[in-house]
Amino acid sequence: MKIVFEPRFYAYHLAVEEGGNRYSDLEDRMYWKRRNHAHFMDKWCYSIRKKVLSYAILTAYALLNGPSAVKGIVKVARDKTWR
């Protein structure tokens, strides 16, 4: 195996909504964002103050994006299978 150094390497950055595994449905997107965020904070034992602030920011973001985003946040609160 050989490592090759390429000095003229280019990195292409895609626009915000291109590439990767994107959700077209805002409800699903907010569900997974909130769920994964909660899992990360629980895993690394964040303080309750940081958790409350973080959840408040995500909820405010959902409120600004409309009812479907709020449904995604509520869906996480009701879903107990991931804990």
Question: pLDDT tens digits for 22-38?
Answer: 666 888 888 988 999 88
The answer to the question of residue 12 being in a domain is no
**Gap between the Cα atoms of 57 and 55, Å rounded:** 5
The answer to the question of residue 9 being in a domain is no
Domains held by the chain: number = 1
7-16: long-range contacts, CB 8 A cutoff, minimum separation 24? none
| Range of the structural domain that residue 64 is part of | 26-78
The answer to the question of residue 66 being in a domain is yes
Q: Could you tell me the pTM of the whole model?
A: 0.66
The answer to the question of residue 3 being in a domain is no
The answer to the question of residue 5 being in a domain is no
The answer to the question of residue 1 being in a domain is no
Instruction: Check residue 19 and give its pLDDT.
Output: 55
The answer to the question of residue 8 being in a domain is no
